[in-house]
Amino acid sequence: MSSQASLMAVGIQFDDPELEQAVRNGLQTIELALRASVQSEDEFVADVARYLVEAGGKRFRPLLTLLAAHFGDPDGDGVVMSAVVCELTHLATLYHDDVMDEATVRRGATAANSRWTNTVAILTGDFLFARASDILSDLGAEAVRIQARCFERLVTGQIRETVGPRPGVDPVDHYLSVLTDKTGSLIATSAEFGARFAGVDPDTIASLRAFGEQFGIAFQISDDILDIVSDTGQSGKTPGTDLREGIQTLPVLYALRSTDPADSRLRELVSKPLLGDAEHAEALALLRSSRAIEQARETMLSFAEAARATLVGLPDVPAKAALNALADLVVVRTG
C-alpha cells in the first residue's frame, strides 16, 4: 500500500502541506521496511508472512508514530523501525484473531487460516512476533520493556474477551475494558515510541500515549457502529458482519441492556445466533433504528473528547492539529 493510499484510507485532512508530505514520505519508508522485515529464506514462510502486509490496511499505528515524532525530531533514530514493530505486532494479532474467530475473509481477501490452515496462521503470527522482537532488540532495553508490557495487555484483553464478563460485571464495562487492552494499548505504544525516539520530553510522551489509548478505543467503537449503519463497508467489512458472526459489539450490548418493550424483538434476535439471511436483515434493520446506536455514538464521542483533552497542554505544532483532526474523524465517519 502506498503512503497516499494509507492516508486516503484513514481519511485525515492535513492543514499543513509540509507535515502532510513528511508523513507521506515517512509512511513510504515504513512500508518498505515493513515488507523487508517479513522476508524469509523459506519461500512458503515469506509468502504467508507478507500476505496481510500486501492486503493493505489503514496503517494507523505507523501514522500515530510519525505524528507523535513531529513533536520532536521526526528523523530520530528508531522512529521508523519502532513503527514497523507496532505494525508487525498488529498484523500478528490479526493472524491469531482470524483463527479464534474462524474468519473466512480479511481485508477483502481470503483469511490466512482459510487459505492455508489454522496451524499455519498461528505460526505465521508467531513468526511476525519474533521479527518484531528481533527489531526491538536493536532499539534498546526500554523499548523492549514497553513492548513487552503492551503485549501483556494485548494477550490479557484477548483472554478476557474470550472468557467473557465475570458474574456481576456489566457487559458494557467489560467490553470497553477489553477494547482498552486489545486496541488502545498498541495504538498508545505506537504514539509513545514515536515521541520517545524523537527525543520528546516525558510529559509530552505521557500525553501522546494517553491520546493514542483514548483515540484507539473511540476508533474501534466507530468501527462497531459502521458495521451496522454503513451500506458501503467503510469499516473494511461487509455491513453486519459482526452481527452475522454473533460478535456482541457495543451497539448490541446496549440493545441487550435495553428495557424498552419496543426492543423486545431486537433483544430476542441478538441474544442468540442468527438463523439465515432473513433474521440477519431483520436484526440489522432493528439495530439501525434503535436507541442502542445513539448510545454507542455517545460513548464513542466521550472517548474522542477524552483523546482531544490530552492534547490541550501540548505545543501548537502542526502535528497537534493533525491529531485533533484524527479525533474529529471518528465522530464524522459514523455520521
Q: What is the pLDDT of residues 153-195, one digit of tens each?
A: 999 999 999 899 999 999 999 999 999 999 999 999 999 999 9
Q: Which residues of 65-99 are buried (b: 16+ CB within 10 A; e: fewer)?
A: bbbbbbbbebebebbbbbbbbbbbbbbbbbbbbbb
Q: What are phi and psi of 106, to 5 degrees?
A: -140, 125
Q: Which residues of 180-202 are buried (b: 16+ CB within 10 A; e: fewer)?
A: bbbbbbbbbbbbbbbbbbbebee
The reported pLDDT for the residue numbered 183 is 93
**3-state SS, residue 42:** coil
CA dist., res. 81 & res. 72, Å (int):
17
pLDDT digits (tens, 9 = 90+) for 83-95: 999 999 999 988 8
The reported pLDDT for the residue numbered 132 is 95
User: What's domain 3-332's superfamily in CATH?
Assistant: Farnesyl Diphosphate Synthase (1.10.600.10)
- State which residues of the chain have pLDDT below 50: 8, 233-235
Which residue carries 483515540 as its cell?
A: 215
The reported pLDDT for the residue numbered 235 is 47
The reported pLDDT for the residue numbered 109 is 67
**What pTM, to 2 d.p., does this model score?**
0.90
CA dist., res. 222 & res. 333, Å (int):
8
Spatial neighbors of 40 by CB under 8 A, at least 6 apart, are 46, 49, 127
The reported pLDDT for the residue numbered 54 is 81
